[in-house]
Chains A and B, each alone.
Chain A
Amino acid sequence: MNQLLLDLSAVLLLALGLRGLAKLRTARMANGLAALAIGLAVVGLLVSQGLAGWPWMLGGLAVGGGIGVVLALRVPMTAMPETVALFNGCGGMASLLVALGAVGLPGPMGLLATVSVLASVLVGSITFSGSLVAMAKLQEWLDTPAWTQRQARHAVNITLALACLACCVVVVQGQPWGLAPLTVLALLLGIGLTLPIGGADMPVVISLLNSYSGVAAAAAGFVVGSALLIVAGAMVGAAGLILTQVMCTAMNRSLTSVLFGGALGASAGAGSGEKKEAESYGRITSCSAEECAMALEQAERVVFVPGYGLAVAQAQHSLRELARLLEGHGVEVSYAIHPVAGRMPGHMNVLLAEADVPYDQLVEMDVINPEFPRTDVVIVLGANDVVNPQAKNDPSSPLFGMPVLEVDQARSVYVVKRGLGAGYAGIKNGLFELPQTAMVFGDAKAVLNGLITELRGLGVGKKALAAV
């Protein structure tokens, strides 16, 4: 009875938690509620089954929980997407191991238990290997190999899937050894499904794999006969699916084209020739930090467009300092946030919040786009594909149709960039060739600090002090 009450409250808290996480005001508390719910569920389980095997439980807690705490507190905010992928993969691994272990328990296994074990092994394996591939891609440890862009990959994946099915049939017919090849094949299938997907689409993949790990947990619930686990797994599975859909909409991609369409920008074929083409630009104007500072000093309205490059250069704090300097000079400053700026929707908001940028200065795409025509200076910092005007006016561009920040409408645009390499999606950017665009080559942090020095040289900081 006690366990039932605890379980019911856990489900209630989990539902409230998931709901609250979708709202800004309640999100942090909701996260706490969800954590509390899991705690209650653990207590409930231990109350009913007792503490048999407690040294093993403590061991798992010390090692897994310990590493989790250290990683969670140490990992930089820039690496958040790959961290979520890693956590997610480990959740899948846990479901896989539990299912394999359940086979060894005494007593006969009914059809229900067998099918649940198979589902758990299959989904758990795909979640594990798929998440690790996603993590490696986001960390840029792993490229998208050219062979994965050929149509043949579908044949490979279909063969793997059929082989998995065959193993399942073998196991259902009372041959548990089929689980070993099933695990290996499902792990390979997870790799085969994730490897062809381009880095820019990884957030969607992680979100989908997150949904899978919910399904894996629900399957594990069937295996051990826990209603709580089934509810919670199903809830996360469904919620993850919705979130995946929301993200796809934000990126103007359909789920099927993300999953089966291959990498963005690689569709043209020849992988190696393409990078060269992307780097061949026509008329490019480049300028120094000094010229850029002079434009800023005379501007009335400045918009910064931060991208992942800014975060990698750890330049958020320099950006904030520059913005303060300009604000003191009477310049209206805002930040244009593309829904997929950074490596994951909402990632850039997290990164700028870390640098103490006031929340109300972060303006979403739909709100800021009509403002660009009356903007004097736009500074693009380490963003590329999200400001590419070809997404609007070039139907042959792979980005065509993706909503972008219309910075080409502004009076002048300065693009701070290390060099003329293609963006994360590997596509040339027409913005760089426009007459109102000037490139400021260099590391984002160095350029920003240069701008601060130049502006102080122009007397900007002093005026501000005098005004105060």
Chain B
Amino acid sequence: MSDFSLNEALWVLLLGSLLGFELIGKVPPTLHTPLMSGANAISGITLLAALALIGQAPSPPLQALGAVALGFALFNVIGGFLVTDRMLAMFRRRGGAA
């Protein structure tokens, strides 16, 4: 399906994981909930796979399956980012005052 080899894919996987481990060190407890919510929204990036499926699907049933997958993923991404923003907006107001 693509021209990219197992070797490269595994390197990408390893380096991505290491990056994830390094990015989050100390998190103030206040931010645990928003951070979880934000990270959750990012995991909806699987929407790319859904788009690829729709693009490559040869028949309507498969395209429909891709569309349903896309719907679930977008629900995760859009809802997730909005809800995180709502939470963080509340801190923002206070941060300016304090």
Bound form: Cα–Cα A83–B46 in Å: 19
Contact B67 A57 (CB under 8 A): yes
Contact A344 B33 (CB under 8 A): yes
Contact A94 B70 (CB under 8 A): yes
Contact A243 B39 (CB under 8 A): yes
Contact A235 B19 (CB under 8 A): yes
Q: Interface size bucket, B side?
A: 35 or more
Contact A229 B45 (CB under 8 A): yes
Contact B51 A94 (CB under 8 A): no
Stretch binding the partner chain, chosen from A18-26, A151-159, A264-272, A298-306: A18-26
Q: Interface size bucket, A side?
A: 35 or more
Residue of A nearest to B96 (CB): A359
Q: Which A residues touch B61, using CB under 8 A?
A: 104
Within 8 A of A (CB), among B1-56: 1-4, 6, 8-9, 12-21, 23-56
Q: Which A residues touch B28, using CB under 8 A?
A: 23-24
Contact B1 A34 (CB under 8 A): no
Contact partner of A18 (CB less than 8 A), chosen from B20, B77, B94, is B20
Contact A224 B2 (CB under 8 A): yes
Binary CB contact string for chain B from 65 to 98 against chain A (1 if under 8 A, 0 otherwise): 1111111111111111111111111111111011
Contact A60 B70 (CB under 8 A): yes
Residue of B nearest to A73 (CB): B82
Q: Which B residues touch A57, using CB under 8 A?
A: 51, 54, 67, 70
Contact B20 A239 (CB under 8 A): yes
Contact partner of A87 (CB less than 8 A), chosen from B41, B65, B86, B91, is B41
Bound form: Cα–Cα A242–B32 in Å: 11
- A426 at the A/B interface (Cβ < 8 Å)? no
Contact partner of B21 (CB less than 8 A), chosen from A14, A30, A46, A238, is A238
Contact A230 B9 (CB under 8 A): yes
Q: Which B residues touch A93, using CB under 8 A?
A: 69, 72
Q: How far is the CB of A205 from chain B (nearest CB, A)?
A: 11
Contact A27 B31 (CB under 8 A): yes
Binding site for B on A (CB under 8 A): 14-15, 17-19, 21-25, 27-28, 30-32, 34-35, 38, 41-42, 45-46, 49-50, 52-53, 56-57, 59-61, 63-65, 67-69, 71-73, 75, 77, 80-81, 83-84, 87-88, 90-91, 93-95, 97-98, 100-102, 104-107, 112-113, 203, 206-207, 210, 213-214, 216-218, 220-243, 246-247, 250, 337, 339, 344-347, 349-350, 353-354, 358-360, 364
Q: Which 8 A-B pairs have the closest CB atoms?
A: A225-B2, A238-B20, A64-B71, A234-B16, A60-B70, A68-B79, A359-B94, A72-B82
